[in-house]
Each structure stands twice: as structure tokens, then as C-alpha cells.
Structure 1
């Protein structure tokens, strides 16, 4: 018996088999899954109604008549409804003088509601978490926000923490990419990713047009999610990460400066959105698609694209002039079932839809998310995902494409595979009467009240200087 065992152990075939099994086991543990996620819905007393939005504009005594008109036009065309949420200090009329406590309280409310509900629904205990990643771009504190979460939920002493700031609206995919990298070299881990934005200290009260625009789009929200690479939890998970691509154009001065937190001429801090933003976003978007397309599309589509590209070059050569196709030459729907688009604004959604040749059905989740929750920065993608889940669109084996943009300038995208049929249980969209979405006619309450300013001069609107 000993002789047989020794012979087997010394056999080259045994070592080859051992190496293969070791490799397969390693690959099995390198998969990254989303086990569950929880969206944050503030209380109803934080909703920004049409009337109150007008009141906020009226009480800003730093605005002139042209700025009022610009702001009202922006709200009318933003695609945002009147059920989005703002920080408490806005409702208390203190947006000109927010305190650090206002910012911390805004985050603490989300930590208590979002993370608490996630732990309760999954049955995971806080001391089970091995990795904690928090991304809130425009707030830093001491102790850090990740430290506050550890203290609140009494996590283990050896939990690995990462606190990301300044990453903008694409921060959640950066956080997931960080977790994915850690899990490639560490087996059987559970990671908690917390993504949000703090609006309390960043509500702009000046009159710079490039900065007051952010008040029309950004709203309160957040998402907490648990990721794992445990093979034993794979069948319980919701999504499996297939591909992640990150594009950064920060080396280009124009791209770097198109989205930046800065001070206006009066020293008021705000978020500047430059005129070159659309062009910058387009460049980053195109570069990102070039890299991710070969990784997610079937070979037949790539061959078709190569053939059309060659034919286009030949036409240009023989006709002696540029030839532009009327439709995109590559069909992303051949490898993707669902599109999860960042709700940066109505124009952003429409531009991406046109570039990818998407239907109204494809962009419905993004449009409805913008209408109901606004732009919640890095957490926006997950509200869009929540809409798809609540609508029971996500079936086992479906491929889901996420794409987001962020200051820097960045464009990040990834592809997920749906692990099991999803029913949207416990989803915040269930509380929004998801059956009524999309409405037959998407009424714009701001258009009904302030739409007249698009074609007329402001003559009847009551301004602060008239009081």
C-alpha cells in the first residue's frame, strides 16, 4: 500500500493534476459577486416639491434676473420630478450657512437606514465583514466616514478599510474594482461597499451659472451593497462581475478642468460644470467603448464591425471625401440585454442612447430614476438597477451593462451577469408604486408652473428685491 501511494505521489501526472486543481480553485475564488444591495430613500418630509423649489430660488438674494431665468429654465428641462430629496438644512432655510454637523448627520441617516436594512435582510452580521469601502466624494471628516461606520456597527479590529473621496459620480464602480482586486488574492471574503454623496456643505448659493446648475440635478441618496468571492455563496448572489474597464483623461487639461470643485469670484464654494463637458464626456465614452467592446461582444458582431469599417475606408478612398454612417456601425445589443446608464441629466441619457442606438425601453430605467430620485451621484446606477429589478426584467443569465462618468475626467463601465431571477423584493421602488411607471404621459410639474419663462420675459415672477 505504501509503495502504491509513493508511486502515485511521485508520478508527474499527479503533480500536473494537482496544479490544474489548484489553478481551478484559485480561479473559482477570484470571481466577484454582489450578494445583495440596499437603496436609501429619505423620509417624505425631504421631498423637493415644485412650489418649494421655486421658494429656494426666490430666497437666494445673490441671483439677478438673468440667473433666475437660467435656473428656472434648467429645472424645467432637467427631467426631474417633484419627489426627489434634498438635505434637511435646505428645508430649514440654512443652505447659505451649513455646518459640519449637518454634513455628518446627512451621512449618518443614510448609514443607519441603508446599511442597517442591508444587514437585516441578508442576515450578515457586521463582524462578518472583511473589507469596507466607502466613497463619498465631497466630504472628508476625522475620523473618516469608514471609521464612523466601524464604530456604529462594531466591526472587527482586522477589517480592511478604504475611504475614497473626490472620485465623482463614477466612484461606485471604482470601489467595486478595488474590491475585485483585493479578492483576486484573498479567498472567502465579504466586502461592504457604501456609496453616496453629501450635499449639505455643497449646496451652492452664489450666482455663477456654471455652478448653480448642480443644484438643479444633484439630490440625496445612497446605496450599500455586500460583495463576496465565496464559492459557497455564489448561488445566493444576484450578480457576477464579468468585465470592468476604467478610462481616465485627467492628463488632458481640458478634461481635468471641466468638472471641478472651486470658488466663485465671491469666494463661495461650488461645483463648476464647464462648457467643454459634453465634448470631454464623449471622448472618454468612445475610448471606454473601444476597450470594452471586444471583451463583451460576440465574435460575429466584431467581424461585422470590422467589415463595415473596411468598407467605409474604401468608400472614403474612392469617393475622396469622408463618409459617415447614419447609424452606429456596432450593435451592442448583440452582447447586452440591459443598459444601466448614469443619470447625469436628461442630455446625458439621450446622448448615450443615441450613441448606442438604444430604444425608449432601454433607457426607461434611467429616465424614470432621474425623474423620481434625480442625480444621486455615484449611487445613481443602483437606483437604475433597482428599477429594472422591481420591474422583474432581470432573468438568470442576462447580461447587464453599466456605464458612469465622473470628475477627473473618468468614464467607467462594467458587465454583470444575472445569477438568478430577481423579483425586486425589499426594493425602494416597491414603495413608489412601480406599477405606475412609466406613466402614460410623463408630466413635468416644473414645466406646468414655470414653463412660460421659456418663451417670455420674466415680468410676473416675484423676486426677493421686490419684497
Structure 2
């Protein structure tokens, strides 16, 4: 009898411990964002029409055909006159970049955004448990995370991760890493810094597929603060609901469509091919097969399954567009806001068309591309900043973030807004000007003769 009682007590204590562990594990799964800060360069680095043209014309490797191509690209790119270029490019050093140029560029972005973030959230750098820095095109010794740790004298047991080569989708990769680490570290603070190093990667050759990067990529970045401490839930602005990462690198065309390389003359740059839009569509479709059931209501999942089955029976040999349309459910039933990576006008148009989004839905992404250009991994947060500055984000709203990056990757996540968000952030001095009544491109007026 005593043995039976002992066994029952042992089972009871084990069950209690197991349930406690499950509850604790569930608590650690939460990921709250306490704040974010986007970088805004100085006025002296603003890339207006005159400066942009002077940079183009001083490239002696370009001929009349390349000039015409550049003009058409700039006119169609959807970028205005207020984006920012690296300082060494402004000074005319793009052909002879030095390591100090890249490090100075990173220091400006890192320390300005982090200083503001620590001040706004009232969290000390010495409280940070996890630090993730993602910069695709710069890997130095000591690492970029070490520069941050040294500047802010962070504690010796901070867990530091330096991500490189991850492309424009690196920001969500870094957040996924934080989310996984939160399962192990209780009541922790994590910093993610997302940006790109352009100083040493401004292309000075004449290959058209590599010139494109100069027309799209601009200086920018963002620092974010996260925690899994539920006691700080009342201070959070966003809560991560789910994350889905898709890597389409097994497909050769997708792998090659977005790649760093040297041209035939040894000029290093970033090649973007015409296959990029198709790679984005295919990887996005694969991603949504996993994301859809996580975010959509049951009735929408059932409707989508029925319609997809009916469409497949109707046409077993559908075109690519029909296949993609059939494969994508109505995401508006699972999210109120769409935060899409402003990788370029073609990508924005393609995502908008496939998801059936309105111009209101696409406005934050289009305006971010127009104002700041493609700032690579930091771009999503400028889009979020636009929504916040426009006071669109209300408590309980859901935001879907969609990002694409070299590899080829499509990463998505869902956020829940924890409180009404209305900070003007990096947009505060110009938000009233957006969206403009008409988007005028001065390049066509001043340099239209090149296209004749």
C-alpha cells in the first residue's frame, strides 16, 4: 500500500513538473517588440537629380546605350529625389573604396539608431542578452557585433551573432533566430540591427544587369529591441504571432537571379536578372502554403481548397499566372495591413496583383520606395514606419510582413499590434507630403534627350 502511494505521489509530482515545464516553455515562446528606430542620413547625402546624374556621367565605362538604359531604369524605378547614397559615392570615391568607408557607414547607422532606441525604450545596453547584426556585403575582423559590444560596453556573456550574405530578407532571418533563442533564455532582451554596406559595392562597370543595383539600392537601416518577458507586455508595440521561412536555392534560376559577382573587367557588383520576379512569385507561393493555415480563418481555408480543386479539374494545364492565382488564398481575411519589401516596382506590382491588393494596401511600400529607395534588409521597417506615421495601426490589428532576398528566399511573418501606434518616427518631417498628388520624375525632363 505504501509502495502504491509512493508511486502515485511520484507520478503526481512528475505530472506537475511536466505541466509546469510546458507552461514555462509556452511563456518563453512569446516574442514582443519594444521599439524600433530607422536611420535617416544627413541632407548632404541626399541623391537628387543633379547629383545622381553627375555620378552616372562620371562613369567613363558607359556608352550612349548604357546611358539610355540607365535613364529608362531610373524613370521606371519609382524612386524620388530624397533617397540617400553612401558618403564615399557622394565624394566621388566609388571606384576606390576603402575599408574605413564601409566601417564609417556602418558606425553611423548602428550608433545613431541604437542611441535613439536605448533612449526611447529606457533599456540599458548592459541589459542586452542577445545581439544579432545582419549586413550581407561586409564581413570584417573584429566582427560588426564586436564593434557594437565595444561601443556600448555590453556584458561579457551577451550572445552575439553576425549574419552575412543573407540579402534583403535578412531582417526576418535575424528575428527568427531571436525567436528560437527565446525558447532557451528566459526574460531576455535582444537587439537586431539590419542594414547593408553599399560603400564598397557601388558598381562602376557597364553590364546592364549589374547597373540595376545602383538604381535601386540606397543607404538605410534599422535597430529593433525584443523581449520574451511577459511582465513587459504592457510596453510592447508588436507581438510576433508566427514566422515562415522559405529557401528556394535548390532552383538554379532562382539561385542565380540575384548574386554578387565581378564582370569581365573585374568590377565587383550585384547582378539582378529578369528571372527575379518569377523566383519571387514561386518562392512566395511555396511560403504561403505553410503560412496560410497559420493565419487564415477556417472558412477561408475551406473556400480556398474547394476553389483550387475545382480550378485544377477545369484546367490541368493552366498557365503560370493561373497556377499562382489558384495557389494564393485571400490573405485579407487574416491580416489588416501588408508590409511588403520595397525591392522594386516590378516586385511590388507582382505581389499586389497576385494577392488582389488595393492601392491603399500597397501605398506604404510604394511610398517607402519613393522616399528611401530599397534599403535592403532594413526596408520593411520604413514601410512599418509609414503605416505608424499615418496612424493606420490600431490595437489588435494584424500585419503581414513579406520579404524577398538572394538565395533565393521568401520570408514572411505575422505581427499583432499591441497598442495604437502613432509615432512619426523617420517619416515625421515629410509624412504630410505623402502620397503626392502626382509623382514627377525630373530625370525625364532634364535627360530625356538620352532616350531619343
TM-score computed with the length of structure 2 as normaliser: 0.94
The question of 1:211 aligning with 2:210 is answered yes
Q: CA deviation at 1:330?
A: 2.2
Task: Kindly provide the CA deviation profile for residues 236-256 of structure 1, in whole angstroms up to 9, marking residues without a partner as x.
Answer: 111111111111111222221
| Whole-Å separation in 2 of the counterparts to 1:395 and 1:21 | 34
Q: Output aligned runs, 1:323-342, within 5 Å.
A: 324=322, 330-342=329-341
SS in 2 for 1:203: coil
Partner residue in 1 for 2:163: 164
Distance of aligned partners of 1:92 and 1:332 in 2 relative to their CA distance in 1, 3 Å threshold? same
The question of 1:131 aligning with 2:91 is answered no
Q: Which runs of 5+ in 1 are unaligned?
A: 1-5, 457-467
Q: CA deviation at 1:11?
A: 8.5
Partner residue in 2 for 1:24: 23
- Over aligned residue pairs, what C-alpha RMSD do you find? 2.1
Q: Output aligned runs, 1:131-150, within 5 Å.
A: 131-150=130-149
Task: Kindly provide the CA deviation profile for residues 277-299 of structure 1, in whole angstroms up to 9, marking residues without a partner as x.
Answer: 22222211111111211111111
2:427 paired residue among 418, 429, 445: 429
Q: Output aligned runs, 1:58-457, within 5 Å.
A: 58-316=57-315, 324=322, 330-425=329-424, 427-432=425-430, 434-451=431-448, 453-454=450-451, 456=452
Partner residue in 1 for 2:34: 35
Partner residue in 2 for 1:465: none
SS in 2 for 1:415: strand
Partner residue in 1 for 2:53: 54
State whether residues 85 and 219 of structure 1, in contact with CA within 8 Å, keep that contact through their aligned partners in structure 2: yes
Task: Kindly provide the CA deviation profile for residues 337-377 of structure 1, in whole angstroms up to 9, marking residues without a partner as x.
Answer: 00000010111111100010000000000000000000000
TM-score computed with the length of structure 1 as normaliser: 0.91
State whether residues 73 and 451 of structure 1, in contact with CA within 8 Å, keep that contact through their aligned partners in structure 2: no
SS in 2 for 1:244: strand
Distance of aligned partners of 1:168 and 1:235 in 2 relative to their CA distance in 1, 3 Å threshold? same
Distance of aligned partners of 1:325 and 1:279 in 2 relative to their CA distance in 1, 3 Å threshold? closer
Q: CA deviation at 1:313?
A: 3.3
State whether residues 281 and 324 of structure 2, in contact with CA within 8 Å, keep that contact through their aligned partners in structure 1: no
SS in 2 for 1:265: coil
Q: CA deviation at 1:321?
A: 8.1
State whether residues 76 and 450 of structure 1, in contact with CA within 8 Å, keep that contact through their aligned partners in structure 2: no
State whether residues 73 and 453 of structure 1, in contact with CA within 8 Å, keep that contact through their aligned partners in structure 2: no
SS in 2 for 1:119: helix
| Whole-Å separation in 1 of the counterparts to 2:323 and 2:94 | 49
Q: CA deviation at 1:12?
A: 5.9
Moved more, 306-315 or 326-335: 326-335
State whether residues 33 and 241 of structure 1, in contact with CA within 8 Å, keep that contact through their aligned partners in structure 2: yes
